[in-house]
Chain A
């Protein structure tokens, strides 16, 4: 348990290419694994490590996030002391535009950082699903005598901008590249989660801001790679960083494996989410479900295979859902067929409709649409 760390979460992320899935919401409130939103993982990890001062910076479309978080009660963050502070988009500069990058964002809430009593700070994006023990991250930070500890994971690069690190000695990062070229070689990639001493972060942000810098990774992390002691903390087990439809789909489907699921949901602590009081799922006489994850509140009378159903999904008789993800309150009516589809909240697929994508290109049906 640690009460000397605070956290700032960036709810929107410019880097993601989630297109249709983030038209109506921030990355933080993107639904995941049947009943969660991405921010649940970040919030739960923090709370499980005793970190209860949490600021959330939003940028656009944040109403779904506010609706999800409310006062933070579902994460036990409705506290007298500390708890959640949500910062709506604000105009902080003379150009009268909303903050551009993390540097401007942090600069705008510098009073909040100053007023918090914690000495350390975790900066994190919210497109990550993993079960992280921040107590251990902190212990390593202290043991290494690090200025910055950056969490990393092992993966191949894709077209999304990534920080690739390499270290020769015990996790000390000595080379730091920013790459957006896809590669087949696995490498250590920054998860966009950093632990700093708050004073150091404040100084770096102020310096960068006065110079007009925008890019946190380039102007703060990379620029100081040789002067500051940056250590990598490699995350192991299930780590999902979602930056496009393909990674969203693949990382979701991995969770059909019970081992991966146990790793994500139980390794260091439980993952909490907004409680919806749905009823248990009902399976009717024509139900045929195999290798799937099904949330509460569904009503199933059709075929479901290799798929994930969120809360309150209705699958009528004769309908078939294969290799697909159907989000909250989706309705798949009689004899409709879905394969390799991601259907957003409240989508209705009418009788006899057939929709298929392909494993490498799942079709997305936008929120509230009727097919």
Chain B
């Protein structure tokens, strides 16, 4: 018998503006930002879902959604074009009596209760659209069931000195959570929340409705829903994840995550055939390495024409790098053009940006500090004049499209 019922529905929070990424997210939502040569950030949670056997995904969008909508399309690149289930883009919408923007992460799910109910799921997986990691959600769901939990939160062990930057889950011996602290000054543990939650849907539904009626609530999972559930004595468990995981919400961390792909010991292995990361593919020929080029310790994607020197960099599709140009320790996004003899170091070059001949962008860092890299950014569609100079740590914006 045909049934629309799904055991677990994933809800992907993709509406955030990502202000900390500056001009990279001026015209596009954070999950649509290019990453790792041929991917977008959202490819990671989407591929994780399909690889985990979850085929029904709601993507909650709000901020600059066009790129993301077009990119997701009918979900075909992730095998999500299904008769039953598939991927759904869910913007906020008007109702008979009301209608408003998504006020917070919890409110975004609250506004889509009717969507989730259509699939009568037992569980709902809540994901963020700004993390780079490979994770088997099926294993986490199994854990959730074994523990008979109401909510399971994925946690990762972080160095103690960094723990105060995260939401920290303090747990009992059996990994049940007794306390949640958002960015604590003196952390009691190093279990950082990864922003990945599995809820038993009936429970979450109840808490979302209660939270909506609470006028003082910020309608946020971390600030409201989790503390409320803890306060009521619901069963919350931490699911320990070990492996590569990175929040790419800042320029520094986005750059660092790109560099991590170049480092075999970093733990993010995109070449593993058993856990592929899928991406929408553009029809372009193989890349061309010219007669004057020297490319080392780098990733290069299809459609590029490279005639300069590239070292320790991630080069996305259809990038042109001219003769005599030098690109080091940088990530160059799709379609960017780097002119002859230009020098680009410790930089992020946005989509379709143009760096003029002989221009200098960024430079070697004097005293680089992990996590706080002084990365130079040339935004999407921005132009650096011939022989121009962009100082280290500066950010150049492109012309406005929508004004």
Real binding pair: yes
- Min CB distance B206 to A, Å, is 40
Contact residues in A for B293 (Cβ distance below 8 Å): 289-290
Residues of A within 8 A of B399 (CB): none
Closest partner residue, chain A, to B315 (CB atom):
A280
* Alpha-carbon gap, A293 to B290, bound state (A): 9
Q: Which of A278-309 contact B (CB under 8 A)?
A: 279-297, 299, 304, 308-309
With A277-B279, A280-B37 in contact, do A288 and B288 touch (Cβ < 8 Å)? no
* A100 within 8 A of partner (CB): no
B37 close to A261 (CB less than 8 A): no
Tell whether A284 pairs with B289 under 8 Å between CB atoms, given A272-B283, A277-B278, A296-B302. no
Contact A73 B76 (CB under 8 A): yes
Residues of B within 8 A of A280 (CB): 36-38, 299-302, 314-316
**Which residues on B sit within 8 Å (CB–CB) of A270?**
283-284
Does B111 have its Cβ within 8 Å of any Cβ on chain A?
no
Q: Does A283 contact B295, Cβ atoms closer than 8 Å?
A: yes
On whether the beta carbons of B285 and A261 are closer than 8 Å, the reply is: yes
Question: What A residues does B278 contact at CB under 8 A?
Answer: 277
Tell whether, in the assembled complex, residue A34 and residue B286 are in contact, meaning their CB atoms are under 8 Å apart. Answer: yes
Set of chain B residues within 8 Å of A264, measured between Cβ atoms: 285
In the assembled complex, the CB of B381 is this many whole angstroms from the nearest CB of chain A, namely 21
Q: How far is the CB of B284 from chain A (nearest CB, A)?
A: 7
Of B38, B285, B310, the residue contacting A34 (CB under 8 A) is B285
- Bound complex: CA of A297 vs CA of B262, how far in Å? 14
Interface status of A275 (Cβ within 8 A of chain B): yes
In the bound assembly, the distance between CA atoms of A5 and B245 in angstroms comes to 52
Counting chain B residues whose Cβ lies within 8 A of the other chain, the interface size class is 35 or more
Interface SS of B by simple majority: loop
Would you list which residues of chain A between 41 and 69 have a CB under 8 Å from chain B? 44
Q: Which of B258-289 contact A (CB under 8 A)?
A: 262, 270-271, 276-279, 281, 283-289
A248 at the interface (CB under 8 A from B): no
What mask results when residues 19 to 36 of chain A are scored 1 for a CB within 8 Å of chain B, else 0? 000000000000001111
The interface residues of chain B lying within 8 Å CB-to-CB of A283 are 295-300, 310
Contact (Cβ within 8 A) B302 A35 = yes
Complex contact B281–A294 (CB within 8 A): no
Q: What 1/0 flags go to A322-336 for Cβ under 8 Å of B?
A: 000000000000000
Which among A265, A275, A277, A287 is the interface contact of B296 at CB below 8 angstroms? A287
A281 touching B287 in the complex, CB below 8 Å, given contacts A258-B305, A296-B301: yes
Question: Do B289 and A291 have beta carbons less than 8 Å apart?
Answer: yes
- A256 contacts B by Cβ under 8 Å: yes
Asked if A347 lies at the interface with its beta carbon under 8 angstroms from chain B, I say no
CB-based contact B270/A289 at 8 Å: no
> CA of A292 to CA of B300 in the docked complex: distance in angstroms?
13
When C-beta atoms are compared, the residue in chain A nearest to B310 turns out to be: A283
What's the Cα separation between A153 and B305 when bound, in Å?
29
Give the docked Cα–Cα distance between A292 and B288 (Å): 6
Contact partners of A284 in chain B: CB under 8 A: 296-297
Measured in the bound complex, the distance between the Cα atoms of B278 and A282 in whole Å is 18
Within the complex, the shortest CB–CB distance from B263 to chain A, in Å, comes to 11
Contact across chains for B38 and A293 when beta carbons are under 8 A apart: no
A271 at the interface (CB under 8 A from B): yes
In whole angstroms, how far apart are the Cα atoms of A286 and B311 in the complex? 12
Q: Is the CB of A294 within 8 A of B286?
A: yes
- Looking at A261, A283, A289, the one whose CB has the most chain B CB atoms below 10 A away is A283
A149 beta carbon closer than 8 Å to chain B: no
Nearest to B291 among chain A residues (CB) is A291
Task: Determine whether B209 belongs to the interface, using a CB cutoff of 8 Å to chain A.
Answer: no
B104 at the A/B interface (Cβ < 8 Å)? no
> A273 interface residue, CB < 8 Å from B?
yes
B residues near A44, Cβ cutoff 8 Å: 283
Q: Is the CB of B77 within 8 A of A261?
A: no
- CA A193 to CA B316, docked complex, whole Å: 37
Chain A residues lying within 8 Å of B291, measured Cβ to Cβ, are 290-291
* Bound CA–CA A34/B287 (angstroms): 9
- Please name all residues of chain A whose beta carbon is closer than 8 Å to the beta carbon of B297 when the two chains form the complex: 283-285, 287
Q: A265 to B285, Cβ gap below 8 A? A: yes
In the complex, chain A residues whose CB is within 8 Å of the CB of B314:
280
- How far does the alpha carbon of A309 sit from the alpha carbon of B289 in the complex, in Å? 11
Q: How far is the CB of B355 from chain A (nearest CB, A)?
A: 19
Q: Does B365 contact A (CB under 8 A)?
A: no
Q: Is the CB of A35 within 8 A of B286?
A: yes
**B77 A275 Cβ-Cβ under 8 A:** yes
Q: Report B308 CB to chain A, min CB distance, Å.
A: 12
Kindly state whether residue B394 has any CB partner on chain A within 8 Å: no
Name the CB-closest residue of A to B300. A281
**Cα separation A290 to B288 with both chains bound (whole Å):** 9
Q: How far is the CB of A309 from chain B (nearest CB, A)?
A: 8
Instruction: State A272–B280 Cα separation when bound (angstroms).
Output: 13
29 contacts between A and B (CB under 8 A): A34-B286, A44-B283, A256-B288, A258-B288, A258-B305, A261-B285, A275-B281, A277-B278, A280-B36, A280-B37, A281-B287, A282-B298, A282-B299, A283-B295, A283-B299, A285-B296, A285-B297, A289-B293, A290-B290, A291-B289, A291-B291, A292-B289, A294-B286, A294-B300, A295-B286, A295-B302, A296-B286, A304-B289, A309-B286
A-B residue pairs, 4 tightest by C-beta? A34-B286, A280-B37, A295-B286, A280-B299
